[in-house]
Amino acid sequence: MGQILLQVEDLHTQFFTSRGVVRAVDGVSLHIDAGETLGVVGESGCGKTITALSVLRLVPEPGRITSGKILFRGRDVTKMDDDEIRDFRGNDVAMIFQDPMTSLNPVTKIGFQIEEAMTAHKRFSAGLAKGRVVELLKRVRVPAAETRVKDYPHQFSGGMRQRAMIAMGLANEPALLIADEPTTALDVTVQAQIIQLMKQLNRELGTAMMLITHNMALVASLCQRVVVMYAGRVVEEGPVEQIFDSPQHPYTWSLLRSVPRVDEARKDRLVSIRGLPPDLVNSPAGCKFHPRCPFVVDRCKVEEPPLAEVAPDQVARCWVLMRNARQEDVDAAKTSALSVEAAQTLKAQAKVGGVAGS
């Protein structure tokens, strides 16, 4: 695709709480090329938001980036001083957040909030900035933009607020836009519109995007590549179509199974991933996913698998991999929420009871 825009190398971001050290981002590496859209998926608490916040060095207390590199066009963000990082934020890389109602200053006019994004970096003079605000709002399809600039956030609808946030993010023509769950707080119909808008903007402006979401459908719509995270680590990565077609990590597979797909027959039931998200202070030994994995084998419980190439351009962190999983396990996982051990126990009981097991 071209030059690498953002390169995250073995990033570790930890939270030092009274209950212990929370390893929110535990050795994450990823990259985004210019103009590319990367999806970062995982359930709540897997570290995807903190990874994004780390890129902008906005990790809240009591968290800190403890090691690793974040290279933007070759410069290491973790080593920037205060002035450099201020220059960097909102300019080279911009971020838009999940809930536009709380993410906008309620007592300042929307137009002004977009304008200050520009004047802060002296990219445009005050006069030009004002005009550009209207342009930007028009570009994100906010109706009556000229009058709307004087409104306050509570006067905008949810969808319009998100559009305004997108306008604010794009104000300085950043090379990379990080979007954290941009549609989660919106109604379903509005979600579709925002997705459309983002597709359009990506085409028109060529801005690279890091799209953080737990919504696989969104990833399918917008992204070229996807990174799957679990318990602060990357567990799978690859081109979207390839991953959707043949996910290799059981977690990715489970995620995809829990989304209804129009192109599949109705016979396969939706499966929820059993168990709870892992405790990031005392995480399980071996593979972090093994307590919830339908295909777990003994090795998974002791040794953590490395990220290994499983197909061209695709890597996964698993000892078993979906293509090596036993068909009966896959069927079992498809049709019920039992783990493999429970199914084996049932089989054993059935044998003892004299009922012919198959």
> Would you tell me which residues interact with another protein (CB under 8 A)?
15, 17-19, 22, 56-63, 82, 85-91, 94-95, 97, 99, 102-108, 116-117, 120-121, 152, 154-155, 165, 168
C-alpha–C-alpha distance, residues 176 and 113, integer Å:
20
Please report how close the Cβ of residue 284 comes to another protein at its closest, in angstroms.
19
Task: Pick the closest to residue 178 from 24, 6, 42, 9 (CA basis).
Answer: 6
Q: Shortest approach of another protein to residue 27 CB, angstroms? A: 20
- The CB-of-269 to another protein minimum distance in angstroms stands at 32
Nearer to another protein, 69 or 121 (CB): 121
State the nearest-atom distance from the C-beta of 59 to another protein, in Å: 8
Nearer to another protein, 93 or 134 (CB): 93
Taking the least distance from each CB to another protein, the nearer of 167 and 315 is: 167
- Helix%, strand%, coil% for the chain, nearest 5: 40, 25, 40
> Least Å distance between CB 103 and another protein?
4
Nearer to another protein (CB atom), residue 58 or residue 346:
58
Give the H/E segment covering residue 13: strand 4-17
276 contacts: CB under 8 Å, gap ≥ 6: none
Closer residue to another protein, CB minimum distance, 17 or 335? 17
Alpha-carbon gap, residue 133 to 135, rounded angstroms? 5
Q: How far is the CB of 128 from another protein (least distance, A)?
A: 18
Q: Which residues contact 28 (CB under 8 A, 6 or more apart)?
A: 8, 10, 11, 47, 51, 68, 229, 232, 233, 234
Q: For another protein, which is the closer residue by CB, 94 or 240? A: 94
Smallest CA-to-CA distance from 46 within 244, 356, 273 is with: 273
The residue (of 86 and 326) whose beta carbon lies closer to another protein is 86
Where is 40: in which H helix or E strand? Answer: strand 37-41
Residues 6+ apart with CB under 8 A from 159: 186, 187, 190, 193, 194
Q: Report the alpha-carbon distance of residue 239 to residue 313 in Å, rounded.
A: 7
Q: Please state the closest distance from residue 17 (CB atom) to another protein, in A.
A: 5
* CA separation, residue 206 to residues 2, 174, 202, 227 (Å): 12, 10, 5, 20
Between 8 and 95, name the residue whose CB sits nearer to another protein. Answer: 95
Cβ-contact 316, 227 below 8 angstroms: no
154: buried, middle or exposed (CB in 10 Å: 19+, 13-18, 0-12)? exposed
Please state the closest distance from residue 52 (CB atom) to another protein, in A: 10
